[in-house]
A and B are shown apart, each in its own frame.
Chain A
């Protein structure tokens, strides 16, 4: 049985979340930004699992399954958008896609 205090477990999830946040803010490559969002989603799910184990309720795991579905949709749409952006601009730099006007 795990006897690590819940605070430490939450702290670990928080560290992972902030690593993802730092990656999202620092990196300009869109694939890396999407990866960082994945890390943040995953650490949020980890908090749900920790809480569910702490209170011995299945609700945490149910929420993780929902997060999994949302993440799958988000990745599919995000990667399709990245493909379109690369097709139009020939770059993955997020700063290159800052104009809303028509290109033609």
Chain B
């Protein structure tokens, strides 16, 4: 099982380096998604399957889609000819290899899981839920307030300011 950890860690580090050193924002975001998927494999290996699922769904799914959406909305200096350049092997070979390594890693890990008995020491989502809604109930409520503030703040900041003038002050 240790081998899987090291492979996933290597994929995560390489794709993170590519993400922070890239020139094109979209490419960097796709590398970052790959890095998050590799970290999710590590969560799975660390006996936290629930968190691994959350990482894929919320981080790699929701948050990164938000990033990509904004990047595409800003549409920073994209040209038509650039699309031809992206289809060169140089552009897609590295992420493809990294993703393939991760896939092979996952397949072998799943095969191993069938042969060994289920881990008795694994922390089940049930325990996490019980702890979340008893010990950390106050934290859940504070997180709810934070999310509410986030919704209002994002709405306020995201709305385009209209120039409001009184109708008597309007210049005709």
Contact = CB atoms under 8 A, between A and B. Distances in A.
Given A19-B17, A86-B74, A66 B2 contact: no
Contact of A2 (B1, B66, B76, B123): B1
A61 B54 CA distance: 11
Interface residues on A, range: 35 or more
Given A32-B20, A36-B20, A80-B158, A42 B5 contact: no
A77 B36 contact: no
29 contacts: A1-B1, A2-B5, A4-B2, A19-B16, A19-B17, A23-B19, A32-B28, A35-B19, A35-B32, A42-B39, A42-B59, A46-B43, A49-B48, A56-B123, A58-B123, A61-B128, A62-B136, A65-B132, A68-B54, A69-B143, A70-B146, A75-B67, A77-B153, A77-B154, A77-B157, A79-B154, A82-B70, A83-B73, A84-B158
Closest 6 CB pairs of A and B: A23-B20, A73-B150, A80-B157, A76-B154, A58-B127, A58-B131
A79 B12 contact: no
B62 interface: yes
Contacts of A62: 128, 131-132, 135-136, 139
Interface in B37-54: 39, 42-43, 45-48, 50-51, 54
Interface of A: 1-4, 9, 12, 15-16, 19-20, 22-23, 26-27, 29, 31-32, 34-36, 38-39, 42, 46, 49-50, 52-53, 56-62, 64-66, 68-73, 75-77, 79-84, 86-87, 92
Contacts of B25: 29, 31-32
Contacts of B42: 12, 46
Given A58-B128, A65-B128, 8 more contacts: A1-B121, A2-B2, A15-B13, A36-B20, A49-B46, A53-B123, A61-B50, A73-B146
Range for the number of chain B residues in contact with chain A = 35 or more
A51 to B, nearest CB: 10
B130 to A, nearest CB: 8
Most buried by A among B6, B17, B36, B43: B43
